[in-house]
Amino acid sequence: MTLNSFLDVWVILRQVHRTVFDGDLLRTPQYVVVTVAYLLVYAAYGIPYLFLPHKASEVDLSEDSVSLLVSIIGISNLTARFLMAIVASSSIRNRMFLLSLSFAAHTLSLLTFPFFLTFYF
C-alpha cells in the first residue's frame, strides 16, 4: 500500500465519520433520552438468563424444565421482535410510541420476574 492510497483511504474514512457521527445529535434531548433508554434496556437484557438457573434451583425445577423455559423466552423474544418490526414498518403509527410501549412491556416483565414461583410444564 503506497502513501497516496493510504491517504485516500484516510480521507474517505474522515468523510464517512463526519456524515455518520453527527455530534449535534448529542445536543438533542430526544436523542439522549432514547440512547439512555436503549443502554438501560440492553444492560438489563441478560438478567433473566443469568438468574434463571439459580431461581430454578430454589423452586426445585429440573434442568430440562429450565432449558425449556430459557428456550421459550428466546423464541418469544425473537417472535416479538419480528412482529414489532412488521408493525413499525407497515403502519403510519408513531414509532416512538411503539418503542415506548415495547420498553414498558419489557420493564414490566423484568420487574415481575422475581414473583413467578411456579412453572407449569
State yes or no: pLDDT of 91 exceeds 70. Answer: no
Residue 23 falls within a domain, yes or no?
no
Cell readout for 119 is 412453572
11 lies in a domain?
no
What cell numbers appear for 67 in the block? 432449558
Return the biggest CA–CA distance within the chain: 67
Any domain includes 90: yes
Is position 3 within any domain? no
Q: What residue numbers bound the domain in which 67 lies?
A: 45-115
**The predicted structure's pLDDT at residue 76:** 86
Q: Is the pLDDT of residue 3 over 60?
A: no
- Hey, what's the cell of 24? 449535534
Does some domain include residue 29?
no
pLDDT confidence of residue 46: 78
Measured over the CA atoms of residue 25, residue 28, residue 31 and residue 37, the dihedral's sign is positive
**Domain assignment present for 62:** yes
Give the model's pLDDT for residue 79.
92
Question: Could you give the number of structural domains in the chain?
Answer: 1
Residue 43 CB coordination number (10 Å) = 9
Residue 61 located in a structural domain: yes
pTM reported for the whole predicted model: 0.57
pLDDT in tens, 16-66: 877 777 777 778 888 888 888 788 877 777 777 788 778 777 777 788 888
Q: Is residue 85 part of a domain?
A: yes
